[in-house]
Amino acid sequence: MYPEDLVMPMRKELTDAGFKELLNSEDVKAIIAKNETTLIIVNSVCGCAAANARPGAIESLNNSKSPANIATVFAGVDKEATDAARGYMIPFPPSSPCIALFKDGELAHMLERHHIEGRPAELIAENLKNAYNEHC
C-alpha cells in the first residue's frame, strides 16, 4: 500500500475534476447499480497515469455527451474498491491505470494500460469521447 501523503495529489487531480472516490466494494456496487452510464478510472502512481490517463479522462469530459457518473478507485491504495471495480471489468485482466465505461451496469468500453501507456492524453480523451457519443 502506498502512503496517503504520496497519493493525495493524485487523488485530488481527479476529485477536483468531479470524480467520486470509491473506497470500498459497497461504493462500487452502488454506482454500478444506478443503471446509468458510469466511467471508472483505476488510478495509479505510475507515470502513464499522471501523463496520460488522468489528464485524458478529465479532458474527455469536455464533450457534448458524457457519463452520468464519474468515479475512481486507486490501485495499491483502495484494495477492496479496486478489486470490486475490476470484478465488473472481466474479461479484461487487472491493469492500472485503466478506464472503463459502463452502461446500465454492463461494461461498454475499456481502455487497458497498454491502450494508455505511451499515448498522449489527447488521444485517450478522443477515444473516450467517441465511446460517450456511442453509449451516453
Place of cell 443503471: 35
| 136 in catalytic set | no
Q: Which of 7, 14, 42, 48 is catalytic?
A: 48
The DSSP bridge partners found for residue 21 are 72
Kindly give the interhelix angle for 25-32 and 79-88, rounded to the nearest 10 degrees. Answer: 30
| 48 in catalytic set | yes
Q: Which of 14, 28, 46, 77 is catalytic?
A: 46
Residue pair 134/66 in contact (Cβ under 8 Å)? The answer is no
Active-site annotation, residues: 46, 48
